[in-house]
Chain A
């Protein structure tokens, strides 16, 4: 059976096509202000890559902020379930999933069967979200990837006001003006981020294996500091782009529930 998952996030949209539990093709685009067109765009792209047509897809499940406005899905599921399922596939044996997306940060605890047991999401100020890093990278005038290389490895990561994303910029700018090295500031930003996330993770009584999905898991600086704060190893997805977790989960659910959808 050929299934698809379509994850329309606030910043990026992802599409995945799977056949019998294997990824045939995937696509990631940045979301437009119209979820419907984002969905069509990204799925067409995936279908193209897979060298097939939309009709070849037996079941498609949608998730993400825009899931209710995706025209071609048979069913939808919440981000939590999809990311949980996707993460378990990306990192078999994962019991605790940390997913940091553009607009929020989720910690999901799974049971042995991969069902969601407990989850927490970041309600507080946005300094624990992917957006935080994007905004900061822009202020520093470096790319997101470059920012990720500034790890606590540097001698003196600067302590930041982790209370307000945009306010923290004032501090970043001040440090720039005082001529602090970019690396130290960048490392400071990553630690602030990691610190924020670790509060959420520890609060959820994490069980090993801990894995991390979402774009931010590509940021070495954050991951390393987070491992240090949690005192345990964080497993990173190898089987596919960690950003795809939600879409993969959706595709897997589509397969599990078959045509007609869940519930």
Chain B
């Protein structure tokens, strides 16, 4: 790691950048664009976000608030829990614990910095965490292993049984930094009784752990507030998803990022609800005019990203798709399987239902909801088993009438790289052209974005999609 990097605290660094970025939008457009001249690289992310208008501004504030919470947690007498994107932070907020979500912070670094998060990625390998491990954690984990982040009080992950390298990153950290550790572990099936009760039991274990580590007892009213807010958020999401299935898709492409980033940051918090409301207004306005959400206003192609997006180097992926008139009808990160979701028609049992009647019903709700988080739901079993990755992706492709499927992940993603080839073959048999991207969503050194984009365009052209 470069010595100069050792001078900075990662959380504070990202926080101050985002906070400042948030302020830039307060002046006039003229002022804003004049200011952009002074941040030649950072404009690559700031400009597109701000161009999304109110929702973009709210998103910046959301991120700023999230990072602020981390930086100020200990001063405010709150504990910090290191966790993973596919773990719903709602329970932490309900217990007044602040989440430090590695993948979210890795993403921010990968998006914002010219040198990405290379120093942190590599530091993990320096201390012996295998370089074949997933870059989504390494991108920020390196900072915490090097003592360049806020001091973590506890570690919770929910990827055991779903993704080894993810879960292993947290187990490694707990052993390396000697921090208390709890894992939610998922069996290779979804809706059987034994598994439903496993979800529940495991979640009670989590709550016991959180109570012990934070010294806060779980509070019924607080949990109810959070779940009621979640209910609202799910309803808005359902509305948006209904409209996403229209042709053309009225949703601005960057909203995909806003939806899941916001959910990973602030599930069950009202600031996220406000952003969703703004977004719903825009989408329905577009829908009313039968207008595509793309900047060009013209939709040439509908793509389903069956796994994750590409985060390295600003917002290049979304810019590129937008330029080419390709809309994104979602990816594995942006669907949460509330039983009322439009895509669960016919398989409602796969979803969760929010029940705020009493503490037991609410904890049960949390457990079943968390069991349906991105990746947790569909990567846990063989991809061709009921409710798993293939069935899910195919269902989404149909409901949102996608023309093609694109896989993007990281070389560290053992669980999908172990099955993506047959998965793609089966998709093609269903008549859906399927493309496998070989880059790394968080590390441009694996394949430069230009090379990735060139291959992507080649696929769309050669397969006659564009």
Residues of chain A with a CB closer than 8 A to B35's CB: none
Residues of chain A with a CB closer than 8 A to B128's CB: 203
Say whether, besides A170-B451, A229-B2, A231-B3, A124 and B127 are in contact (CB < 8 Å).
no
Residues of chain B with a CB closer than 8 A to A162's CB: 445
Say whether, besides A159-B115, A159-B444, A231-B3, A174 and B125 are in contact (CB < 8 Å).
no
Interface string of B428-453 (1 = CB under 8 A from A): 00000000000000001111101100
The docked-state distance in angstroms from the alpha carbon of A228 to that of B4 is 10
Interface string of A198-212 (1 = CB under 8 A from B): 110011000000000
Question: Are B446 and A203 neighbours in the complex by a CB distance under 8 Å?
Answer: no
A-B contact pairs, 25 of them (CB 8 A): A159-B445, A159-B448, A160-B445, A161-B446, A161-B447, A161-B448, A162-B445, A163-B411, A170-B451, A171-B448, A171-B451, A174-B448, A174-B451, A198-B122, A199-B126, A199-B131, A202-B1, A202-B123, A202-B126, A203-B125, A203-B127, A203-B128, A228-B2, A229-B1, A229-B2
Question: Are A231 and B2 neighbours in the complex by a CB distance under 8 Å?
Answer: yes
Please, which residue of chain B has its CB at the minimum distance from the CB of A170? B451
The docked-state distance in angstroms from the alpha carbon of A192 to that of B445 is 9
Question: Are B451 and A195 neighbours in the complex by a CB distance under 8 Å?
Answer: no
Given A163-B445, A202-B1, A231-B2, 10 more pairs with CB closer than 8 A: A159-B115, A161-B446, A161-B447, A163-B446, A174-B450, A199-B122, A199-B131, A202-B126, A203-B125, A203-B126
Q: Looking at A160, A161, A170, which has the most chain B CB atoms within 10 Å of its CB?
A: A161
Interface residues on chain A, number (Cβ under 8 Å): 18
The docked-state distance in angstroms from the alpha carbon of A120 to that of B446 is 24
The docked-state distance in angstroms from the alpha carbon of A202 to that of B126 is 6
Closest 3 pairs between A and B when the two form their complex, measured CB to CB: A231-B3, A202-B126, A203-B126
The docked-state distance in angstroms from the alpha carbon of A198 to that of B2 is 10
Instruction: Tell me the minimal C-beta distance from A228 to chain B in angstroms.
Output: 7
In the complex, chain A residues 143-168 whose Cβ is within 8 Å of any chain B Cβ? 159-163
Instruction: Tell me the minimal C-beta distance from B64 to chain A in angstroms.
Output: 28
Residues of chain A with a CB closer than 8 A to B126's CB: 199, 202-203
The docked-state distance in angstroms from the alpha carbon of A160 to that of B125 is 18
Please, which residue of chain A has its CB at the minimum distance from the CB of B6? A231
Question: Are A195 and B118 neighbours in the complex by a CB distance under 8 Å?
Answer: yes
Question: Are A161 and B445 neighbours in the complex by a CB distance under 8 Å?
Answer: yes
Instruction: Tell me the minimal C-beta distance from A54 to chain B in angstroms.
Output: 46
Question: Are B2 and A124 neighbours in the complex by a CB distance under 8 Å?
Answer: no
In the complex, chain A residues 179-201 whose Cβ is within 8 Å of any chain B Cβ? 192, 195, 198-199
Please, which residue of chain A has its CB at the minimum distance from the CB of B3? A231
Residues of chain B with a CB closer than 8 A to A195's CB: 118, 122
The bracket for how many chain B residues form the interface is 20 to 34
Please, which residue of chain B has its CB at the minimum distance from the CB of A178? B450
Instruction: Tell me the minimal C-beta distance from B128 to chain A in angstroms.
Output: 7
In the complex, chain B residues 111-165 whose Cβ is within 8 Å of any chain A Cβ? 115, 118, 122-123, 125-128, 131
Instruction: Tell me the minimal C-beta distance from B109 to chain A in angstroms.
Output: 15
Instruction: Tell me the minimal C-beta distance from B200 to chain A in angstroms.
Output: 43
The docked-state distance in angstroms from the alpha carbon of A162 to that of B445 is 6
Residues of chain A with a CB closer than 8 A to B450's CB: 174
Residues of chain A with a CB closer than 8 A to B2's CB: 228-229, 231
Please, which residue of chain B has its CB at the minimum distance from the CB of A124? B131
Please, which residue of chain B has its CB at the minimum distance from the CB of A230? B3
The docked-state distance in angstroms from the alpha carbon of A127 to that of B120 is 19
Residues of chain B with a CB closer than 8 A to A170's CB: 451
The docked-state distance in angstroms from the alpha carbon of A202 to that of B2 is 11
Please, which residue of chain A has its CB at the minimum distance from the CB of B124? A199
Instruction: Tell me the minimal C-beta distance from A43 to chain B in angstroms.
Output: 40
Please, which residue of chain B has its CB at the minimum distance from the CB of A158? B448
Residues of chain A with a CB closer than 8 A to B411's CB: 163
Instruction: Tell me the minimal C-beta distance from A128 to chain B in angstroms.
Output: 11
Instruction: Tell me the minimal C-beta distance from B74 to chain A in angstroms.
Output: 29
The docked-state distance in angstroms from the alpha carbon of A192 to that of B115 is 12
Instruction: Tell me the minimal C-beta distance from A32 to chain B in angstroms.
Output: 35
The docked-state distance in angstroms from the alpha carbon of A238 to that of B445 is 35
Instruction: Tell me the minimal C-beta distance from A201 to chain B in angstroms.
Output: 9
Of A171, A199, A229, A231, which contacts B125 at CB under 8 A?
A: A199
Interface string of B206-221 (1 = CB under 8 A from A): 0000000000000000
Please, which residue of chain A has its CB at the minimum distance from the CB of B1? A202
The docked-state distance in angstroms from the alpha carbon of A160 to that of B445 is 5
In the complex, chain A residues 215-263 whose Cβ is within 8 Å of any chain B Cβ? 228-229, 231
Please, which residue of chain B has its CB at the minimum distance from the CB of A160? B445
Instruction: Tell me the minimal C-beta distance from A96 to chain B in angstroms.
Output: 14
Please, which residue of chain A has its CB at the minimum distance from the CB of B447? A161
Residues of chain A with a CB closer than 8 A to B1's CB: 202, 229
Residues of chain B with a CB closer than 8 A to A174's CB: 448, 450-451
The docked-state distance in angstroms from the alpha carbon of A174 to that of B13 is 34
Residues of chain A with a CB closer than 8 A to B3's CB: 231
Instruction: Tell me the minimal C-beta distance from B100 to chain A in angstroms.
Output: 24
Residues of chain A with a CB closer than 8 A to B448's CB: 159, 161, 171, 174
Please, which residue of chain A has its CB at the minimum distance from the CB of B132? A124
The docked-state distance in angstroms from the alpha carbon of A229 to that of B118 is 12
Please, which residue of chain B has its CB at the minimum distance from the CB of A201? B126
Please, which residue of chain A has its CB at the minimum distance from the CB of B440? A163
Interface string of B184-201 (1 = CB under 8 A from A): 000000000000000000
Instruction: Tell me the minimal C-beta distance from B114 to chain A in angstroms.
Output: 9
Residues of chain B with a CB closer than 8 A to A199's CB: 122, 125-126, 131
In the complex, chain B residues 65-104 whose Cβ is within 8 Å of any chain A Cβ? none
Please, which residue of chain A has its CB at the minimum distance from the CB of B118? A195
Please, which residue of chain B has its CB at the minimum distance from the CB of A204? B126
Instruction: Tell me the minimal C-beta distance from B225 to chain A in angstroms.
Output: 46
The docked-state distance in angstroms from the alpha carbon of A202 to that of B123 is 8
The docked-state distance in angstroms from the alpha carbon of A99 to that of B1 is 20
Residues of chain A with a CB closer than 8 A to B447's CB: 161
The docked-state distance in angstroms from the alpha carbon of A212 to that of B303 is 51
The docked-state distance in angstroms from the alpha carbon of A51 to that of B339 is 89
The docked-state distance in angstroms from the alpha carbon of A57 to that of B19 is 73
Instruction: Tell me the minimal C-beta distance from A154 to chain B in angstroms.
Output: 16
Residues of chain B with a CB closer than 8 A to A202's CB: 1, 123, 126
The docked-state distance in angstroms from the alpha carbon of A162 to that of B1 is 16
Interface string of B356-377 (1 = CB under 8 A from A): 0000000000000000000000
The docked-state distance in angstroms from the alpha carbon of A202 to that of B128 is 11
Instruction: Tell me the minimal C-beta distance from B92 to chain A in angstroms.
Output: 34
The docked-state distance in angstroms from the alpha carbon of A169 to that of B445 is 13
Instruction: Tell me the minimal C-beta distance from B3 to chain A in angstroms.
Output: 3
The docked-state distance in angstroms from the alpha carbon of A195 to that of B411 is 19
